[in-house]
């Protein structure tokens, strides 16, 4: 059976890769161990969060599915960090995880050019072509042989997975599901990829009817929920979306004593688990160990479905034995009689060193083989989905003999994510944070469609109708910004009286409207008071004009810095460039450059330990090589 592109794994990375590939006109096959688990949310019933929300918005701007599915399956929507600047706010949605899975699977099944096969890939077909290795297809445990020009592996935690619950160890890629051993062996032996182990985990799920929520803090969604997808009708969404509350509980001294007294049974501490744990999403036993003086830890009780029959205890991820899990959960106020439906567990799995990849997510050693998601050392649905769409897009572009789409660090969080992975690698599950993005003022969530929509449209993933809406939005924001820049006010009595009426300090010098709204105290109401012409725009656009105005000076500064750096972006490093022949570079720098094989000077700059001086030397040698 022949295809253009085969995607292995039906998680969030696999879904986005397969949908993008198929929508670009390629005959695509998605292979998943269980068809009904395509789109399953293995851990928390939520999408987005700080920086993760940015990824979902960017994914949506490129034409991805996660934002749309979240809007349909969402049961609570909140903007995190609302009291902080717009650049570091993050959208987060609780989802009905059963509904999400069904929508995702049906989206796959209803997409032209895309086939779904319930099967398990056992090995990869790799052949030598003109002295280099090239992917040719896959072989499954059912002895099906599928041939394709490009293969994308999105295996999640299934590669050689081992599940830990106390002293009990089980083979599996997710609780109750088999793992993939053959594919891991094939990636090592047939492809020669450098692999290692990581660990992640999840918490217990509780029968909602056994919890006393009255003694907990209720946490509702935003009064006017914001959808994730730019394609969702905002007004209709805000008018019709039903939301469920979450609840906040706390661990206590008794909880901590129970956990601490059972450290000797914790796989994380006994040496039973060898894989590196996620530093930013630690298990409860890890938190108690590292912060022994902390009197309590937050627990967020999140409904898993709209029916609210099961609760996810966010903040209590654990691999302690079942009897210890029961005891520590019962020690929490409101959960004294809690009934555990599913126990928490840890899972260890193989991953590929992401430095084995090009920025296109194609492996350097095997032509046509792409990797996306947790196989590259990341954690989280959002990081996986973002990689998935880029792998699908670039596999499709390669079939058209076109250059890959590589997003820059200054134009997308997705660009930061992939650049970090392929240039720096990771020895722990990688999670996206706003602090990782140097140009986060330019990368706000709400600007994702304006920043990236043209890529999605050019690729055929964003419709003409949607792209017209994006262009209209961009035009209106530009018009509003220009009005703010051009409108000037003098410090006369009449205008200062107007400022006083809205509790603003008077002017001392001539100022533009843009300079005025840059004040921290200015909001939309005050902006419209001094520039009533802006009231013709939709509320959403007015808010964007306000934000753009407030940060205009800082955005200009970052934009100028980016322009200075663009000379490096345009300079490509030849694929056969001999870094060891560059005099003036230390041996360590030469080895790093040779190992990463950066495609551009910009990519070389992002490698840890590569100095500006080294870049200048490299620039000179590239120019010398070009003259030969």
Same structural domain, 8 and 94? yes
Q: Where are the alpha helices (DSSP H) in 463-550?
A: 464-486, 493-501, 513-517, 524-530, 539-550
Q: Based on the domain organization, do 157 and 303 belong to the same domain?
A: no
Q: Are residues 70 and 104 in the same domain?
A: yes
Residue 223: name the closest of 201, 202, 252, 243 by CA.
243
Residue 81 lies in a domain: yes
Residue 604 exposed, middle or buried by CB count within 10 Å (0-12, 13-18, 19+): buried
* Structure tokens that stand for 84 in this block: 């902080």
109 and 164 part of one domain? yes
**Which of 535, 558, 581 represents a domain boundary (last residue)?**
558
Q: Cα separations (Å) of 388 from 129, 154, 394, 426? A: 27, 8, 10, 18
Chain segment 198-220, per-residue pLDDT in tens: 999 999 999 999 999 999 999 99
CA distances for 18 relative to 106, 150, 622, angstroms = 13, 12, 38
Q: Give the residue from 532, 558, 584 where a domain finishes.
A: 558
Q: Specify the CATH number for the domain of residue 612.
A: 1.10.150.570
Based on the fold, state whether residues 39 and 98 are members of the same structural domain.
yes
464 inside domain:
no
Q: What is the pLDDT of residues 287-331, one digit of tens each?
A: 999 999 999 999 999 999 999 999 999 999 999 999 999 999 999
Would you say residue 465 lies in a domain? no
Yes or no: say if 392 and 23 are a contact pair by the CB < 8 Å rule: no
Alpha carbon 152 to its chain's center: 18
Q: What sign does the dihedral 344-199-98-244 (CA atoms) show? A: positive
Strand partners, 367: 134
- H helices of 313-463, in order, are 322-330, 381-399, 413-424, 448-458
Q: Which has the minimum average pLDDT: 44-58, 179-193, 598-612?
A: 598-612
As for how many domains the chain has, the answer is 4
Identify the domain boundary among 318, 346, 374: 346
Q: pTM for the full model? A: 0.91
In terms of Cα–Cα distance, which of 49, 70, 67, 46 is closest to 58? 67
Reported confidence tier of residue 628, pLDDT bands at 50, 70, 90? low
Reported as type and span, the H/E element at residue 137 is strand 132-140
Give residue-wise pLDDT tens across range 490-538. Answer: 999 999 999 999 999 999 999 999 999 999 899 999 999 999 999 999 9
- The CB density around residue 497, as the number of other CB atoms within 10 Å, is 10
In this structure, the dihedral spanned by the alpha carbons of residues 73, 77, 80 and 82, taken in order and rounded to 10 degrees, is: 150
Give SS3 for 178.
coil
What domain range includes position 524?
Answer: 472-558
Q: CB–CB of 432/380 below 8 Å? A: yes
pLDDT bucket at 589, cuts 50 / 70 / 90? confident
């Amino acid at each position: 059976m022949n295809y253009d592109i085969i995607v292995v794994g039906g998680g969030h990375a696999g879904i986005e890769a397969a949908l993008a590939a198929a929508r670009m006109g390629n005959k695509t096959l998605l292979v998943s161990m269980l068809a009904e688990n395509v789109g399953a949310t293995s851990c928390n019933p939520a999408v987005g969060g700080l920086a993760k929300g940015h990824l979902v918005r960017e994914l949506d701007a490129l034409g991805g599915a996660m934002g749309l599915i979240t809007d349909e399956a969402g049961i609570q929507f909140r903007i995190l960090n609302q009291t902080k600047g717009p650049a570091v706010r993050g959208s987060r949605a609780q989802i009905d995880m059963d509904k999400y899975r069904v929508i995702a699977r049906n989206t796959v099944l209803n997409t032209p050019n895309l086939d779904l096969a319930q099967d398990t890939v056992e090995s990869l077909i790799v052949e030598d072509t003109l002295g280099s290795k090239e992917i040719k297809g896959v072989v499954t445990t059912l002895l099906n042989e599928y041939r394709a020009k490009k293969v994308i592996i999105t295996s999640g935690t299934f590669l050689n997975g081992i599940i830990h619950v106390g002293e009990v160890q089980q083979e599996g890629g997710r609780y109750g599901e088999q793992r993939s051993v053959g594919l891991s062996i094939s990636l090592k032996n047939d492809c020669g990829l450098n692999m290692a182990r990581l660990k992640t985990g999840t918490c217990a799920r509780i029968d909602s009817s056994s919890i006393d929520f009255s003694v907990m803090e209720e946490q509702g969604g935003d009064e006017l929920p914001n959808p994730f997808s730019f394609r969702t009708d905002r007004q209709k969404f805000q008018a019709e979306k039903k939301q469920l509350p979450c609840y906040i509980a706390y661990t206590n001294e008794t909880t901590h004593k129970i956990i601490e007294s059972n450290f000797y049974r914790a796989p994380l501490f006994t040496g039973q688990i060898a894989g590196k744990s996620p530093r930013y999403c630690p298990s409860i036993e890890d938190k108690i160990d590292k912060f022994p003086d902390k009197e309590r830890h937050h627990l967020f009780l999140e409904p898993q479905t709209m029916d609210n029959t099961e609760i996810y205890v966010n903040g209590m991820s654990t691999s302690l034995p079942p009897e210890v899990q029961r005891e520590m959960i019962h020690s929490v106020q409101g959960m004294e009689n809690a009934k555990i439906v599913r126990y928490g567990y840890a899972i260890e799995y193989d991953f590929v060193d992401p430095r084995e990849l090009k920025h296109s997510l194609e492996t350097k050693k095997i032509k046509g083989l792409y990797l996306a998601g947790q196989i590259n050392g990341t954690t989280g649905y959002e990081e996986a989905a973002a990689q998935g769409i880029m792998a699908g897009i670039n596999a499709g572009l390669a079939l058209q003999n076109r250059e890959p789409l590589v997003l820059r660090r200054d134009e997308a969080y997705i660009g930061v994510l992939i650049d970090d992975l392929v240039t720096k690698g990771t020895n722990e599950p990688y999670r996206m944070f706003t602090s990782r993005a140097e140009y986060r003022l330019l990368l706000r969530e709400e600007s994702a469609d304006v920043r990236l929509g043209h890529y999605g449209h050019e690729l055929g993933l964003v419709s003409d109708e949607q792209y017209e809406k994006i262009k209209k939005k961009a035009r209106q924001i530009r018009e509003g910004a220009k009005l703010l820049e051009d409108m000037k006010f003098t410090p006369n009595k009449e205008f200062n009286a107007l400022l006083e009426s809205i509790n603003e300090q008077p002017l001392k010098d001539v100022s533009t409207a843009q300079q005025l709204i840059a004040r921290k105290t200015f909001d939309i109401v005050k902006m419209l008071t001094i520039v009533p012409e802006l009231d013709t725009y939709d509320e959403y656009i007015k808010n964007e004009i306000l934000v753009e105005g407030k940060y205009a000076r800082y955005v200009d500064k970052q934009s100028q810095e980016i322009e200075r750096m663009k000379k490096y972006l345009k300079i490509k490093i030849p694929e056969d460039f001999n870094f060891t022949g560059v005099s003036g570079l230390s041996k360590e720098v030469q080895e790093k450059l040779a190992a990463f094989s950066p495609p551009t000077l910009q990519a070389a700059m992002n490698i840890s330990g590569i100095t500006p001086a080294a870049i200048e030397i490299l620039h000179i040698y590239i120019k010398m090589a070009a003259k030969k």
